[in-house]
Structure 1
Amino acid sequence: MKTLIINAHPDFNNENSFSYKLQELFLRKYKETFSNDTPEILNLHAIDLPRIDTTQLLNIWDKQQTGKTMTEEEQHMSEITNNLLFQFKSFHRIVIISPLHNFNVTSQLKDYIDNILIARQTFKYTSEGSVGLMTDNYKALYLQASGSIYTNDDRYTALDFSYNYLKAMFEDIMAFDTFYIARAQGTAILTEETVLQNAEHDLDQVFNAFYNL
């Protein structure tokens, strides 16, 4: 199954990070299941992501709508966005790997979402509201690392804005079939062994459904 891994960790090569360990955990399980396939990995902090800014995406979108000529730099940024969008739509299984930053997605991951959440491409506006266009058996899996625990139904549960945001964007806006999550949580308070055992259990619970196995 064609799978795109989107790694949003700022230090994505750091083998000591739990995001890295989550990625390795997923890759091992993937290789056991799909021995002849290899997922494509996109490290967001290894590329220059265009941002919603008056000198970047806002200016590019305005020029595209008005037919104005873009500068060479703007054409380059537009090409980056187009390539990211094409890549995103080409994979029916999306895996997002990211730490939780101040209860939300990393800034680079938000920038990435802004590059692929494009009207008439991944969703469209109608008189009854927006409608998702990613309806052909698309699924997403979020592998999240967090210092605290967010599944104890306490004050922290409602503060996991990253999960709520991503689930809404993928399921409600783009119409992905399902948005799954597996967590390496409590990294600041539990032993590494416990965190990874729990994460592997989480992944085992959703992996088969994620791939329709």
Structure 2
Amino acid sequence: MKILHIDSAITGEASVSRSLTAQIVARLTAANPDAVVNHRDLNKGVPAIDTEWFHAVRQTPENPTEAQNRIIETSNAYIEEIRDADVLVIGLPVYNFTVTAQLKNWLDQIARAGVTFRYTENGPEGLLTGKRAIVAYAAAGTPFGSDLDFASDYLQHMLGFIGITDVTFVPADRLAFDRDAGLARAQEALDQIAA
């Protein structure tokens, strides 16, 4: 088993999503001792897509410049990490009702027509199939799955868009109101995960 462990919280050791992703990875590796884990901390920086990215990645120049090659290589590296993984463990801290900027940047980097999805007569088709994602959702005030939660549905949609449809959430929500109850809900969901 190959595990891609992704964190994006800005709160360091105080992060609930980081704690949960670590627990999920520990559970998976305990059940699969030969598992290989690749950890990607998006908080260390993920370039936002921009005009230069568009010209380098989407327009695929015949003779890319050195700067364009660096942009292409960065996007390709994120995609190769996913291709190489059997399981993605993703930390989803909710900031201002949605995903972190870093996680959004990562999703923008990996959603590439002809690479991770393709357009067909029946609509888009994801190309990174056969993978599983386990998402550690952490929110101070946003109830998981509520009308205020613009994070979980969006992430699940984007994962499905690139072909990852087996998605499980471990939600620790409403932590600002009752931290113990929120953590207990997460532990209950964690206990249900088949390793």
Task: Say yes or no: TM over 0.5.
Answer: yes
Q: Displacement, 1:149? A: 5.0
- Structure 1 unaligned segments of length 5 or more: list them: none
Question: What aligned pairs does 1:181-200 form with structure 2 within 5 A after superposition?
Answer: 181-191=169-179, 193-200=180-187
8 Å CA contact 1:183, 1:202 repeated in 2: yes
Distance, in Å, in 2 between the alignment partners of 1:63 and 1:121 is 13
TM value normalised by structure 1: 0.82
- Structure 2 unaligned segments of length 5 or more: list them: none
Find the counterpart in structure 2 of residue 34 from structure 1. Answer: 32
Runs (4+) off by over 6 Å:
none
SS of the residue aligned with 2:33? coil
Identity level (%)? 27
8 Å CA contact 1:60, 1:74 repeated in 2: yes
Distance, in Å, in 2 between the alignment partners of 1:189 and 1:10 is 21
SS of the residue aligned with 1:130? strand
Find the counterpart in structure 1 of residue 72 from structure 2. Answer: 78
8 Å CA contact 1:63, 1:70 repeated in 2: no
Q: Displacement, 1:128? A: 2.5
Question: What aligned pairs does 1:19-168 form with structure 2 within 5 A after superposition?
Answer: 19-47=17-45, 49-54=46-51, 56-61=52-57, 63-64=59-60, 66-67=61-62, 69-135=63-129, 137-151=130-144, 157-168=146-157
Aligned-residue RMSD, C-alpha: 2.0
Task: State the number of aligned residues.
Answer: 195
Counterpart residue identity of residue 61, structure 1: V
Counterpart residue identity of residue 2, structure 1: K
1:169 and 2:158 matched: yes
User: Which structure has the larger Rg over C-alpha atoms?
Assistant: 1
CA distance 1:50–1:20, shift in 2 (3 Å): closer
Q: Displacement, 1:35? A: 2.9
Find the counterpart in structure 1 of residue 10 from structure 2. Answer: 10
